[in-house]
Structure 1
Amino acid sequence: MRKILLLLLLFLMIGQVKAQVDQSQTGAWYMYFFNKQFDNNQFGIQGDVQYRNWNLGGDLEQLLIRTGLTYTPEKSNVLLTLGYANITSGAFGESDNRTSENRIYQEALLPHKVGSRILLTHRFRYEQRFVEDQDFRTRYRYNLFLNIPLNSEALDKNTFYAALYNEIFINSQTDIGDNREVQIFDRNRTYLGAGYVIKQGMRVQLGWMHQESVNIGKGQLQFSFHHNF
């Protein structure tokens, strides 16, 4: 009987090891961002579609679809957004398990220029999260974006630029139901990349992002297309 219990314990331990994320494996995120300002209007729309993989492709980490209505106050370059996102998350490895999340969010984008080349943008975002099999919870996010044109003083056609950002996520609640808890600190993302402006309103970007959460730290390649129309 003791041997049987030991074998069962061993199998459980092996299963747990297999379920753990391989932090040395590079992931990849493929992303499309869009922004549309309505003509002669303070309103617009923005959003993004992101296909995130635990590896370079095929092992789904997340499929994120997000869009929102934007508003720019008069005599201001601040962009305010009220939006909605749907997120499907996959488990690492061979498992086909999926969980879903519906999310409402509010954000403010505050861009400004430092000197002749440094383009800074502050993004403040507040999220209301409805995650499958978890209690309702909220989260705060702050992102500082930095773009530096290299061969011109603005992000004009045929401009190459360096792109950096850092974003921190803070949970508002720790209790998520069924005696489960999360930490106040959720995660931090640090990114370094390079971009190219194809033409006014169209640019592509390639970079490396390291995401550090309570449980894991993992590197991700990011390929993104940014479209203002």
Structure 2
Amino acid sequence: MKKLLCVAMLLACPVFYGQSDLGAWYIYFGSIKPENSKWSFEPEIQFRNHDLGGDLQQLLVRPAIRYNLETNFSIAAGYAYVLSEAEETPDNPHRENRIYEEAILRQEVGRVAIRHRFRYEQRFMEDRDFNTRYRYCLFIDIPLNNTSIKEKTIYAALYNEIFINGKRNDDTPSVFDRDRIYLGAGYRLTKNFGIQLGWMNQMLEKTSKSQLMLSLHHTLPIRRANSGNPVPARG
């Protein structure tokens, strides 16, 4: 853990400097997958804060079902509930229900792991017109103390994601919605559990804001005992 903190701070130090309006996102990414199955269930929850904690910006709950067509290509469909609140008081809560479909393509270039994620969202927002949105994210993970990301591996993590409005209306008149760039470090504690710490800057059409991001990445494989009852496999 100390190594992870040191690496993350070294990577993020240049962009943290001078940031006085820093928020924080705390995230859990899960994957529940039966052994020898191409299907998996992926629960996700995010607590996004205007500050480092206590002033909620968004609560996002986003479960999905994934199907692996190939070892390096998968598709998924999911639902997201998003509760947004204004900074400080009053909160002025706003709710959104979202359906989405996505595809992920994985590549390896030497020791570098690359993922391309394409996501299409249908957004049902409180007191707003129906909207759609396209998202493309490029993820790059670089192991630092191993040739691949496995148990006990420290790695640099980078991504850039662009959001494009689909069905535009008075609420979303522009094609460009936002762009996120992330720089951080991760540590794979076990085969099925890891942690990441980093910095993300979100750029909208007229504003931008930086976020500290702490995320847990957890895979729960399911195997069948001799009795035929499903039990979690040890990771």
Alignment size in residue pairs: 202
Q: Quote the offset at 1:158 in angstroms.
A: 1.1
Q: Distance in 2 between matches of 1:182 and 1:94?
A: 28
Q: Quote the offset at 1:181 in angstroms.
A: 4.1
Instruction: Give 1:192's aligned residue.
Output: 183
Instruction: Give 1:42's aligned residue.
Output: 38
Instruction: Give 1:9's aligned residue.
Output: none
Q: Quote the offset at 1:24 in angstroms.
A: 4.2
Q: Structure 2: give runs of 5+ residues left out of the alignment.
A: 1-18, 221-235
Instruction: Give 2:230's aligned residue.
Output: none
RMSD: 1.3
2:151 is aligned with 1:157:
yes
2:24 is aligned with 1:33:
no
Q: Tell me, yes or no, if the aligned pair for 2:165 and 2:172 is still in contact at 8 Å.
A: no
What is the letter of the counterpart of residue 218 of structure 2? H
2:92 is aligned with 1:97:
yes
2:80 is aligned with 1:85:
yes
Q: Distance in 2 between matches of 1:37 and 1:181?
A: 37
Q: Distance in 1 between matches of 2:20 and 2:207?
A: 10
Percent identity among equivalent residues?
Answer: 49
What is the letter of the counterpart of residue 159 of structure 1? T
Q: Distance in 2 between matches of 1:137 and 1:191?
A: 26
Instruction: Give 1:18's aligned residue.
Output: none
Instruction: Give 2:199's aligned residue.
Output: 208
Q: Distance in 1 between matches of 2:120 and 2:213?
A: 24
User: SS of the counterpart of 2:201?
Assistant: strand
Which structure has more relative contact order (CA 8 Å, sep 6+)? It is: 2
Alignment deviations for residues 143-190 of structure 1 (CA, whole Å, 9 cap, x no partner): 0000000000111111110000000000012214xxx44311000000
2:130 is aligned with 1:139:
no
Q: Calculate the TM-score normalised by the size of structure 2.
A: 0.83
2:102 is aligned with 1:111:
no
Q: Tell me, yes or no, if the aligned pair for 1:173 and 1:184 is still in contact at 8 Å.
A: no
Instruction: Give 1:17's aligned residue.
Output: none
Instruction: Give 1:172's aligned residue.
Output: 166
Summarize the Cα distance change of 1:170–1:122 in structure 2 as closer, same or farther, 3 Å threshold. same
What is the letter of the counterpart of residue 84 of structure 1? Y
Q: Structure 1: give runs of 5+ residues left out of the alignment.
A: 1-22
Q: Tell me, yes or no, if the aligned pair for 1:24 and 1:218 is still in contact at 8 Å.
A: no
Query: Aligned match of 1:182 in 139, 163, 173?
Result: 173
Query: Aligned match of 1:54 in 43, 50, 56?
Result: 50
Instruction: Give 1:221's aligned residue.
Output: 212
Q: Tell me, yes or no, if the aligned pair for 2:163 and 2:178 is still in contact at 8 Å.
A: yes
Summarize the Cα distance change of 1:181–1:114 in structure 2 as closer, same or farther, 3 Å threshold. closer
What is the letter of the counterpart of residue 38 of structure 2? Q
Q: Calculate the TM-score normalised by the size of structure 1.
A: 0.85
Q: Distance in 2 between matches of 1:208 and 1:181?
A: 27
